[in-house]
A and B are shown apart, each in its own frame.
Chain A
Amino acid sequence: MNKRAFEIQFNWLFVLIAGAAILMFFTVIIVKQKGVSETYAKSTVLKSVESIINSASVTTDTVKKEEIPASSIEIGCNRISVGRVSRQYQNLVLFAPQATNGEDIIWQTMGFNVPYRAANFLYITSQQVRYIIIGDSDLSKEINRSLPSELNKGFYSASGTSQIKNNNDQKIRFVIVSNARNAPDASYLQKFQKMKDSDVTAIVFSGNSEKGTIDFYRKKENIWEKEGHSMYIGKAAFIGAVYSDSKELYECSMKNAFSRLRIVNKVYIEKTTKLKNDISNPSCNYQAALEELELIGDSSILDPATLDIGQFQSKINNLVSASKSLSDENKELQRYSCPLVY
């Protein structure tokens, strides 16, 4: 090889190596920047959800539709994730489907009153989820009334379910109110057979607006598979069960709600003890209210996941009765112009 040929070949080799180095340099930067941008976009969505949670903690009985960048929000027990970005909580009271997609998020808040306000329940869903309420009882009507009009929902009587149509929604949630506690009719699934099993769920309520049982079901091909059962106390809890599409999520939020209830209850016990000692008016009977508060405290030590249904039922019954009695005691105090407990 002569000198000239070597020179040309060396030149090309040099250009190739230098070009590859420059290309590689920019490729690495672009790939890294893309990753950073994706994480930034996901953390923006997460921040939006966090701000919803913050707003919800300072408002009650509110419904709002909020636009967020298109993404999938995954809700777990005390955890919210958007892709790989996630936020862990110690005590989150949030009722929502396990995965929420879309650009429009609908959120609702409701006070958990037993009988004093103990917590603010937050419900999150999207218009991609369709809620089909079936029933003729007062409870089914109350569920329909309590779910906001912004939601993709339909209300059918038990005899009118043939009118239910497949509107190609992303997720379907059947909300059935039936005191017979039977599994949902398999015929409901006929129009939704092509949907993924995880996208079709059902919940069967049995009880009234004060308390009752809930059975969770999930589509498995052409039949309904039972996921488990639980209980509810009050309107805020049964609406929570409508929004949560899994038993685990519902019970996790309820466990956290009861934990908050215990904190608030302790404060009310202290306040009522002080009122009992300080108020000399014999008509102001704080002892009865104090006993009911102590009963509420004992009954709220419950973790739905660890108790059997019998124990759970008995604690819920005690809680409902103590809550009613405390409400009566508070009204009685008001009648005698005494300082109120709550």
Chain B
Amino acid sequence: MKNAQIQIGETIAVLFVFFILITIGFIFYSKVIRSNIEIEKDELSQLQSIAAAQKVLFMPELQCSEENIIVDSCIDLMKLRALSRDTIRKENELHYYDLFGFSSIEITQAYPSQPGAYILYSKPLAGARSKFVTNIPMGLYDAADRTRKFGILKIETFIS
């Protein structure tokens, strides 16, 4: 009986160690996976930021056009002023959520320098872990006096 008890005790100990090793393995694996997810989240946020910039530059409600012929990397200043007005911006917020998600988008006139920014969309994520900021230079066209200006499109994407 004593021998058998020792044998069973040994087997239980082996099983115990086996399960402990498996648990440690799983904890390690899940930590690696979690850190990979965090890296992927950051990369995704950067991609979202670039995608949002492309979408802004291609929006018919902002793009410069002449007889429906699109001018690349150019924002119509008159359209921009209209779209950034509080009333219109708030009305469109739900619609733009599909395009931009949790982010903030604004355009500043860099040359000739003008204080303040045109806020196009603002939906920050409450309790965001960090944010990714992309600045893209672009042309601004004022149809009224037919002048070309220089602007910066700033996009902030939030990482949870």
Contacts and interface: CB of A to CB of B under 8 A. Distances in A.
Contacts of A301: none
Contact of A118 (B4, B54, B60, B70): B60
B8 A14 contact: yes
B92 interface: yes
B88 A260 contact: no
A324 interface: no
A266 B88 contact: yes
Contacts of A263: 61, 88, 91-92, 95
A54 B61 contact: no
A76 B97 CA distance: 19
B15 interface: yes
Interface in B43-63: 51, 54-55, 57-58, 60-62
B144 A116 contact: no
B99 A259 contact: no
Interface size grouping (class) on chain A: 35 or more
Contact of A90 (B1, B65, B81, B98): B98
Interface stretch (A152-160, A186-194, A271-279, A312-320): A271-279
A89 B8 CA distance: 60
A275 B78 CA distance: 9
A22 B16 CA distance: 11
Contacts of A264: 60-61
B126 interface: no
B11 A18 contact: yes
Contacts of A330: 67
Contacts of B79: 267-268, 270-271
A48 interface: no
Interface in B74-101: 76, 78-79, 81-83, 85, 88, 91-92, 94-95, 97-99
Contacts of B78: 270-271, 274-275
A337 B135 CA distance: 35
A120 B82 CA distance: 21
A36 to B, nearest CB: 10
A121 B65 CA distance: 19
Interface in B92-126: 92, 94-95, 97-99
A116 B61 CA distance: 10
A116 B145 CA distance: 22
Interface in B127-160: 143-146
Interface residues of B, number: 39
Given A58-B55, A267-B61, A7 B95 contact: no
Given A267-B88, A339-B146, A260 B54 contact: no
Nearest to B14: A18
A72 B99 CA distance: 25
Interface in B1-37: 1, 4, 7-8, 11, 15, 22
Interface in A269-317: 270-271, 274-275, 278-279
Nearest to A269: B82
Contacts of B65: 116-117, 340, 342
Contacts of A207: none
Contacts of A119: 60
B58 A57 contact: yes
Contacts of A260: 95
Contacts of B91: 263
B112 to A, nearest CB: 18
A7 B8 CA distance: 10
Contacts of B4: 7, 10-11
A321 interface: no
Contacts of B82: 266-267, 270-271, 274
B88 A91 contact: no
Nearest to B144: A278
A339 B143 contact: yes
Nearest to A264: B61
Contacts of B11: 14, 18
B76 A340 contact: no
Nearest to B66: A340
Nearest to B19: A25
23 contacts: A7-B1, A11-B8, A18-B11, A57-B55, A57-B58, A57-B99, A89-B98, A90-B94, A90-B95, A90-B97, A117-B60, A117-B68, A117-B70, A266-B82, A266-B88, A267-B62, A267-B83, A270-B78, A270-B79, A270-B81, A271-B82, A331-B67, A334-B67
Closest 4 pairs (CB-CB, A-B): A270-B82, A339-B143, A58-B58, A271-B78
